[in-house]
Amino acid sequence: MAVNPNIKIVVADDSGTMRIMFKQILNKAGFENLVMAVNGADGLEKVKAEKPDLVVSDWNMPKMDGLEFLKELRKMDEFKNLPFIMATAQSDKGQNIAIMEAGASGHVPKPFDEDQIGRAIEKAFSGDLADEAPKEKQRHMIGGRVEMNVAHIQITDHLALGALKHRIEQGDVEPEHFDLTTSLKTGWNPIQEGLENGEIDCAFVLAPIAMDLFAYDSPIKLVLFAHKNGSTFIRSKRYDPRFDSLQSFYKYKVVDIPHKMSVHHMLAHQFLKELGLKPGVPGKKAINVRFEVVPPIKMPGIMKENEDVAGFMVAEPVATKAIVGEIGNLEFYSAARWENHPCCIVAMQEDFIQKYPEAAQEFVSLLVETGEYIENDKIRAARIAVNFLDPEGKIGLSPQVLQNVFSQPQAIRWDGLYPAAEDLDKIQRYMHDVMEIGKIIDLDKFIETSFADKAYR
């Protein structure tokens, strides 16, 4: 249903940067009648005074968080049915369930765009609160090959998919069992939704996102690591070693990450904790470094304009471009803290595996082979990456920038992608036990190693 663009919306977020982003995104979605609040308590007073048509709130805020804000509104007869959307970095499934049980009209995990918030607003006003059930997908057969839809985003981590697509288009390889279609998504959340509702057959996705989906019974399997290494922590150029220690520089500042459920979050948390700091998101626990989830492409610009942002951790090529553009300096490569660590994985729908095992095997085997193809010629790989990741030239990639990325010490790797359970266990244990994020899953049930076993034989 079409929602009146003149509705009044109270937006609550304690971060000045995020309030600016909320305003920009809602304006792009067509909504300009906004009342800004700095936390849940302020939001409650603004709702009482302004009588809005909708509330959009962050969760983690001091004084009164978003969940408390929601619960307080639901106690009041006047506002017990007021549409309320939680737009937050609390993107794991358990938190989503808690939000809906408290009476929210919807949940949009950060980072989000105008299309995602627009759909959430339409859904809130339609009264349809049910999650979209997984679909029984009707796949097409083309010349005896099954159509295979594989999702990715615009990062070099997903180059194995792009290089495989290039090889197929050039006629270097001709799959016998599948016909490849790649689907470029705007961010992690559309990939998460596509895996959850069955829209996509397979995706290159952050390992903790896939593990969290599996923990809440999404029928997906990990069939291969997508790459190893490949992320970088960038420190703001405002750091001055003459006056600042690293601890004093990061203390009471913001560090941006691409997603709550990510190895970026884990490695940044480890680094800051080792400096003697208390990193986290605002809430009940005392913290002195704040994590904020923002789209990777926006990270350099936000840090350049906002002196409160001390650094960010992100996949390539965003980090290298920030260094070349003199927006920030290298703090560390992710591989310097954990050599050959996993990050993104290849997640596949279980029903695709069951119905088309030959296609699944062939896809995994070709990805393994294509990883070696990339490693053997990085100049060629850089040219392929530009065409695959930036076909319209919107993010300004060039072969030279990507060759710089590939030539870094401890750079991203596309060989040795066998899905080792011990690596994933290291991630889930730290996130669950130390960061108090997510659930512990049975990795033997999550990982399907048979395809990789055959590919590496």
- Going residue by residue through the chain (457 aa), what tens digit of pLDDT does each one get? 578 989 999 999 988 888 988 999 999 999 999 999 999 999 999 999 999 999 999 888 888 888 899 999 999 999 999 999 988 776 667 777 778 888 888 888 887 888 889 988 998 888 765 555 555 667 888 888 999 999 999 889 999 999 999 999 999 999 999 999 999 998 888 899 899 989 999 999 999 999 999 998 999 999 999 999 999 999 999 999 998 899 999 999 999 999 989 999 999 999 999 999 999 987 667 899 999 998 888 899 999 999 999 999 999 888 988 998 899 999 999 999 999 999 999 999 999 999 999 999 999 999 999 999 999 999 999 999 998 988 877 777 788 888 888 887 788 999 999 999 999 999 999 999 999 988 999 999 999 999 999 999 8
Q: What is the pTM of this model?
A: 0.87
- How far is 122 from 284, CA to CA, in rounded Å? 32
pLDDT of residue 136: 63
Question: Angle, nearest 10°, between helix axes 263-274 and 207-215?
Answer: 110
SS (H, E, C) 55-105: EEECCCCCCCCHHHHHHHHHCCHHHCCCCEEEEECCCCHHHHHHHHHCCCC
pLDDT of residue 257: 95
Contact 91, 193 (CB under 8 A): no
| Fold category of 148-229+341-456 in CATH | D-Maltodextrin-Binding Protein; domain 2 (3.40.190)
pLDDT of residue 134: 53
Number of H helices and number of E strands within the chain? 20, 17
Same fold, 9-126 and 231-337: no
pLDDT of residue 87: 86
Q: How buried is 370 (Cβ within 10 angstroms: 0-12 exposed, 13-18 middle, 19+ buried)?
A: buried
Sorted by where each begins, the domain ranges of the chain are 9-126, 148-229+341-456, 231-337
Enumerate the β-bridge partners of residue 35: 10
pLDDT of residue 222: 98
pLDDT of residue 172: 95
- How far is 94 from 8, CA to CA, in rounded Å? 30
Question: Tokens 């339409």, residue?
Answer: 122
CB environment 169-197: b (16+ within 10 A), e (fewer) = eeeebebebbbbebbebbbbbbbbbbbbe
Handedness of CA 122, 124, 126, 132 (dihedral sign): positive
3-class state of residue 228 by DSSP? strand
Estimate to the nearest angstrom the gap between the alpha carbon of 90 and the chain centroid: 12
- The C-alpha angle 253, 258, 261, rounded to 5 degrees, equals 105
| Fold category of 231-337 in CATH | D-Maltodextrin-Binding Protein; domain 2 (3.40.190)
CATH of 9-126, one of 3.40.50.2300, 1.10.286.10, 3.50.50.60, 3.90.1150.10: 3.40.50.2300
- How far is 441 from 312, CA to CA, in rounded Å? 29
H helical segments located in 89-235: 93-101, 114-126, 159-169, 188-197, 207-215
pLDDT of residue 405: 84
pLDDT of residue 266: 97
